[in-house]
Amino acid sequence: MSPTFSSLKFRNYRLWFAGALVANVGTWMQRVAQDWLVLTELTDESGVAVGITTALQFAPVLLLSPYAGLLADRVDRRKLLMATQVGQGVLAAGLGVLVLSGHAQLWQVYLFALMLGCVTAIDGPVRQTFVAELVPASKLANAVGLNSASFNAARLIGPGVAGLLIAAVGTGWVFLINAVTFFATILALTRMRTSELSPMPTTARAKGQLREGIAYVRGRSDIMVIMVVVGVVSTFGLNFQLTSAMMARSEFGKGAGEYGILGSVLAIGSLTGALLAARRERPRVRLVIGSAFAFGITTGVMALMPTYVAFAIACIPVGLASLTMMTAANATIQLSTDPAVRGRVMALYMMVFLGATPIGSPIVGWIGETYGPRWAIGIGSISALLVATGAALWAWKKWDVTVRYHVRTRPHLEVLYPTLPDRRAETASRLATQEAADRQTAA
């Protein structure tokens, strides 16, 4: 089997991958339908209203993520995932019935977005850490990359399908279809062989565990750099639902189908980035910083595109850069974090990554309404360039970075930062220990 897909040889991971792919398609369909409902049916093309809806959906991440991470460290992760899938399915069905009945109002969509955000906040940390139970530790980077590939394959399919369905039958049916897709994940979780899972250690209830997770992150300058870079880019740059809707509707005068196509085209680059990430055995901090800088350049170019077709084509490198940054950040943190606190660390990461959206979306929406959608994209470009440059300069000074280029030997480009606490030996030891345990279990 190709190294890119090596995690798929494990039955439990294959089930998870397939179920998550179906559910992710439905999720992307709902995201498009929700924004289109607010933008065109419940308001007069209000970017601020769309921004508020997005903010409410992600606001609970800011408040609940630390507790969700602690929950992920304490309980059976598979059972917790079943509960979150049921919750998301019920909320999607409720919103669909409300829209189809003709009684949907803007405040009700706000409320459903907030409730969905609460469930998603609990789902995020356990979803991120559960993958470590499905594959050996040596395959974790590959599994994280394939998870991103699944998510972005769904992004490739979902928005386009949603646009066609919205034009054909309306937004209400899209919500109902999304509700059904969550049962694919539930089915996958119930069909897994528990004997083949590799449960991570759970944490007993005790005082100060949230502070323990925060202290762990504060003591890791590499994780802090990743979180700062991802947080800034997420706040001002990763608002594609909002900016694409405004560009399609206001700048190019297009409809729901063309808006959905933009999301699918963006996913071409994202899926490519995810598959490339699955081949990397060891992503590093420098890849996070470099891809954030590339994101700033590509979004700046995209904002200047004069036609709908040119704008759509420019979405591809944006998707590649953004997905490379997100996957490298996720895998770098998971691979270098102590399993006993991984749920809490990933919860803090999700809080920075997704929790930045409630702050950025209304601001970006206001910029789009006031100065035009091109500036709404431009602010993300400028922010990404500034934070990537700042992080690179800080790392250069604090970690005593040395760059060497070798013409005849590989790797040609070598980046060394000797003052950064080297986690590689610790990680290699943990991987070796886990692999030995896996072999003993198999025997």
Residue-wise pLDDT tens digits, 179-211: 999 999 999 999 998 888 777 666 666 666 777
The confidence band for 46, taking pLDDT boundaries of 50, 70 and 90, is confident
Nearest 5°: CA angle at 341, between 339 and 344? 125
Q: Which of 158, 81, 160, 168 is nearest to 125 (CA)?
A: 81
* Per-residue pLDDT at 72: 77
Could you give the CA distance from residue 356 to residue 177 in angstroms, rounded to a whole number?
29
* Per-residue pLDDT at 331: 78
Residue-wise pLDDT tens digits, 249-264: 888 888 777 877 887 7
Q: Which residue type is seen at 355?
A: G
Residue-wise pLDDT tens digits, 374-419: 999 999 999 999 999 998 888 888 776 666 666 666 665 566 655 5
> Do 118 and 64 touch, CB atoms closer than 8 A?
yes
* Per-residue pLDDT at 439: 46
Using DSSP's 3-state secondary structure scheme, residue 280 falls into coil
* Per-residue pLDDT at 204: 60
The confidence band for 440, taking pLDDT boundaries of 50, 70 and 90, is very low
Using DSSP's 3-state secondary structure scheme, residue 284 falls into coil
The pair of structure tokens assigned to 308 is: 């709908």
Q: List the end-to-end C-alpha distance of the chain, in Å, as a whole number.
A: 23
Most confident of 143-152, 201-210, 312-321: 312-321
Most confident of 11-25, 330-344, 353-367: 11-25
* Per-residue pLDDT at 442: 42
The pair of structure tokens assigned to 433 is: 């220990």
Q: How deeply is 409 buried, as exposed, middle or buried, from its count of CB atoms within 10 A (0-12, 13-18, 19+)?
A: exposed
Could you give the CA distance from residue 331 to residue 323 in angstroms, rounded to a whole number?
12
pLDDT over threshold 70, residue 280: no
> Do 326 and 360 touch, CB atoms closer than 8 A?
no
pLDDT over threshold 80, residue 156: no
Could you give the CA distance from residue 443 to residue 105 in angstroms, rounded to a whole number?
60
Could you give the CA distance from residue 50 to residue 276 in angstroms, rounded to a whole number?
33
pLDDT over threshold 90, residue 270: no
Could you give the CA distance from residue 419 to residue 436 in angstroms, rounded to a whole number?
31
Q: What is the mean pLDDT of residues 210-225?
A: 83
Q: Tell me what percent of the chain is helix, strand and coil, each rounded to the nearest 5.
A: 80, 0, 15
Q: What is the mean pLDDT of residues 281-307?
A: 88
Q: Mean pLDDT across the chain, nearest whole number?
A: 81
Could you give the CA distance from residue 293 to residue 386 in angstroms, rounded to a whole number?
8
Could you give the CA distance from residue 323 to residue 284 in angstroms, rounded to a whole number?
14
Long-range contacts: 297-305, Cβ < 8 Å, 24+?
297/321, 297/381, 297/385, 299/237, 299/377, 299/378, 299/380, 299/381, 299/384, 300/378, 300/381, 300/382, 300/385, 302/377, 303/374, 303/375, 303/377, 303/378, 303/381, 304/374
* Per-residue pLDDT at 410: 66
- Whether this model's pTM surpasses 0.75: no
* Per-residue pLDDT at 402: 67
More confident residue, 40 or 189: 189
Bridge partners (DSSP) of residue 403 are 415
Could you give the CA distance from residue 431 to residue 175 in angstroms, rounded to a whole number?
42
The confidence band for 428, taking pLDDT boundaries of 50, 70 and 90, is very low
- The angle that helices 221-236 and 342-353 make with each other, rounded to 10 degrees, is 30
> Do 295 and 163 touch, CB atoms closer than 8 A?
no
